[in-house]
Amino acid sequence: MSELEQLSELEQKFNEMVQAVRDATIDFKPDNNQKLKLYAFYKQATVGDVEGKCPSVLKMVERAKWMAWDSIKGQSKDQAMRGYLAVFGHEFTESEASKPKADVQAAFKSEPVQRPHVGIEKVAILGAGVMGAQIAAHFANARIPAVLFDLKAKEGAPNALIDGALQKLAKLNPKPFGSAQAVNYITAANYEDNLELLKDCDLIIEAIAERMDWKKDLYHNIAPHVAKHAIIASNTSGLSIESLTESLPTHLHAHFCGVHFFNPPRYMPLVELIAHDGTKPDVLDQLETFLVQKLGKSIIRAKDTPNFIANRLGVFSMLATCYYTEKFNIPLEVVDGLTGKKLGRAKSATYRTADVVGLDTFAHVVDTMKNSLTDGWEKVYQLPNWIHALIEKGAFGQKTKKGLYVKEKDGLKVLDLQSQTYRLSDQKPDKAVTEILGEKDWSVKLEKLKTMDHPQAQFLWSCFRDSFHYAACLVGDISNYPKDMDLAIRWGFGWKEGIFETWQQAGWQQVTRWIDEDIKSGKTLSSKALPQWVYALKEGVYGDNKSFSFTDNALVTRQELPVYKRQLHKDYVLGEHSTMPSVTLYENEGVRLWSVDEEIGILSFKSKMCSIGDAVLAGISEAIKVAESKLKGMVIWQEQDIFSAGANLEEFGFKFMMHGKEAVYEVIQKGHQVITQELRYSKIPVVAAVKGFAFGGGCETLMHCDAVVAAHESYIGLVEAGVGIIPGWGGSKEMAKRASVAQDPWKDFEKRYKNLAMAQVATSAYEAIEMGFLRESDTVVMNSKEILSVAIEKARFLAYSSYQPPLKQKIKVFGEAGIATVKGLLVNMRDGNQISAHDYKIATNLADAMCGGEIEKDTYVSEDWLLKRELENFVELALSEKSAARMQHMLETGKPLRN
């Protein structure tokens, strides 16, 4: 082959390689064995083998392509060819390898790669501790390549510490990764060998321990490797951003800020952005836009004050709770019973939250406040002795399996404040106080708590009063906007309502007088007077889509970044409402069909948990008819944070019990008619916009839509086996149909069958794709507030693409051979007591429904045939005593029954 022909082949190979890389959906992560092979090849290519022969440039390129993966993406052919040495060359010195031959030098000319900066495409996380690793995991969930840095290991592989941190993530609950593929987006790196990888990162987040000296040393080391356009941010939970800036070169100051994620970062929506005096405004705008859209976060901009906003307010609330726990002598589990879901706050309440966060972490945040603040509440900024004693013993909470609570063989135990020993956690809040907390009117609720003599009522009133007092005095200091303070505590601590929202609902002027009286009588934790702006407001800080601004000393309407236009349904505060025009086109007891643009309809369920009963089925049917006559497309979307909990088990279970076989047939046939026929073969495109739970009938509904737009935090599954039945509204049929067109139909069938038989639930939208509940073509959106706008545009696109309903297709089934194979596995499980006899019955009925019954393997059947098998198998199970017992047990306890 001539040199010209060899170069031509080289060019062809490179074009193929570049195209393959650009089309790929995941980044290849070479292991140490592959790196050693490439190192040996490099030596052979540059020095020669034992006979002095060197491979061709073509072979060098082919073998090096995986190591050059990141460098290839988005670059020209020539730049990709140079990528090998850009990634590999730093590992070799002149003493280790001679200079490459002329032909190699020509092909791999070591020149800096220049590419236009188009946004945040790749990130680096500095610090692979629990928080840093979880932040990297969430970028990976969003399919954003992340380089995770930490110290070089003293023994073994250089990046062993990072690899170990990633392995630990797999054991965490709740799961940081949304799918099995996500980890492939993380590259391990260490500070000694790999700092040059920073040059390709558009965002660098530091997440090491809260030591100012360590952070400053790290900034000094990374500064020479940071790209000019890159944003550098610290994930500090409360250290001064202004002080941290001093360790960076002047030219990087404008791109530096604080970015405070809340733990666990996948699930907690809040991220606080903190500027210093020299941060460019457009840097914060760019970062906020990116975090909102690409990571699904809710952003609050905080001032550079200790612990920023959410921790400042939330930790004070916890400290006040500790103070009044001792003062009124309330048992810890009773405090948690009073300050959790009954107040619209996190189920973990106060002390269980402290255990989850870690008592040592809690102590560190409190120390930051103690050492940094002189605001009139200094006496509050200290932990009680009983928490200090636990920390000294190494009882930090959940991570050490012992803290304020401990789980032992005889049950959950809690620290007793009197004896300082653990006892069973069995005390409950006072019934009369609990009844007050059930009062919906905040003005009535707070007045009853304030005037009731019971210690638990006085405890609650004191906690509310001091939180109101404290928050009011911080307006203008930590934030100019009470609205931001309320949203921060809601998003960061899981409160249903913010501090100022509660105050205003209880009567602004009345509560203000109560606080003022208690300040003057010395009952409050600080004698500091309420600020004058509080007295000046008649109704409160909210009103008619406006909120109070400290700088304007008035209620104002605030401007938002363009990214928020994608959020057609937001998290509103008191007094806010949507200004989006909407017209109701159809409504019944179960659903509402409405539109904002006269082209795409939006169908929303009105039932509890968006469950599907007779009214919802009738509503879907009628809404489709209305939409077909008046609209170009339709989206199914729920205002609630859930798509659908599935069929209304209470309604249908009662019907089955009262009317037997006739009722079962009626319910299933109605579902078949509406979901598998009218919805699936509608004359207009229908798109499901999914967030939260989509179980059973809810999952079947989205599976029969033309497309799905799913929030990453969607939890999807056909869980009917858990209540003794099988999917009956087309789920069994649809899974068989999708398996039949897979590249390996039986392997795909096994996966889908197992998911249904074991009632498995996908814990993210990407996992739902892997498990087969969603299609590869379905869209995943990181921000749940954006799914409606994306789904509307998806429906519009389908409508304007000359949409035609799909044709009914014949489905190739596994028949009796498939059923026999499944039964062979099930018999062993049953006889080995891994499953019960009724579990076996459910699983075999499911196999019959999905395999098409006792017919010859590879027979082509119609959808109606599979629906008939689904119907018969469902009816048989629904009428059995053991399945009825499972359904009843689920309704009564919310838990599955094994019988």
Size (the chain), residues? 899
Report H helices in 478-635: 482-493, 499-505, 508-520, 532-536, 614-630
Tokens of 149: 């840095």
3-class state of residue 231 by DSSP: strand
Per-residue pLDDT at 659 = 92
How many whole angstroms separate alpha carbon 129 and alpha carbon 145?
18
User: Strands 270-274 and 146-150: what pairing?
Assistant: unpaired
Residue 31 main-chain phi, psi, to 5 deg: -90, 175
How many whole angstroms separate alpha carbon 440 and alpha carbon 603?
29
How many whole angstroms separate alpha carbon 635 and alpha carbon 615?
19
How many whole angstroms separate alpha carbon 689 and alpha carbon 772?
17
Amino acid at 259: V
How many whole angstroms separate alpha carbon 214 and alpha carbon 231?
20
Per-residue pLDDT at 106 = 40
Per-residue pLDDT at 16 = 54
Residue from 405, 459, 457, 466 nearest 434 by CA? 457
The pLDDT tens digits for 402-445 are 999 999 999 999 999 999 999 999 999 999 999 999 999 999 99
The pLDDT tens digits for 792-805 are 999 999 999 999 99
How many whole angstroms separate alpha carbon 10 and alpha carbon 24?
21
How many whole angstroms separate alpha carbon 344 and alpha carbon 352?
16
Residues of the chain with pLDDT under 70: 1-118
How many whole angstroms separate alpha carbon 860 and alpha carbon 873?
20
Tokens of 379: 């006496």
Task: Count Cα neighbours of 420 within 13 Å in the Cβ-side half-sphere.
Answer: 8
Tokens of 43: 């030596």
3-class state of residue 608 by DSSP: helix
How many whole angstroms separate alpha carbon 65 and alpha carbon 44?
17
How many whole angstroms separate alpha carbon 309 and alpha carbon 292?
19
How many whole angstroms separate alpha carbon 136 and alpha carbon 139?
5
Angle formed by the axes of helices 745-757 and 837-851, to 10°? Answer: 140
Per-residue pLDDT at 72 = 43
* Sequence-distant (≥ 6) Cβ neighbours of residue 131 within 8 angstroms: 207, 235, 261, 263, 265
User: Strands 256-261 and 270-274: what pairing?
Assistant: antiparallel
Amino acid at 458: Q
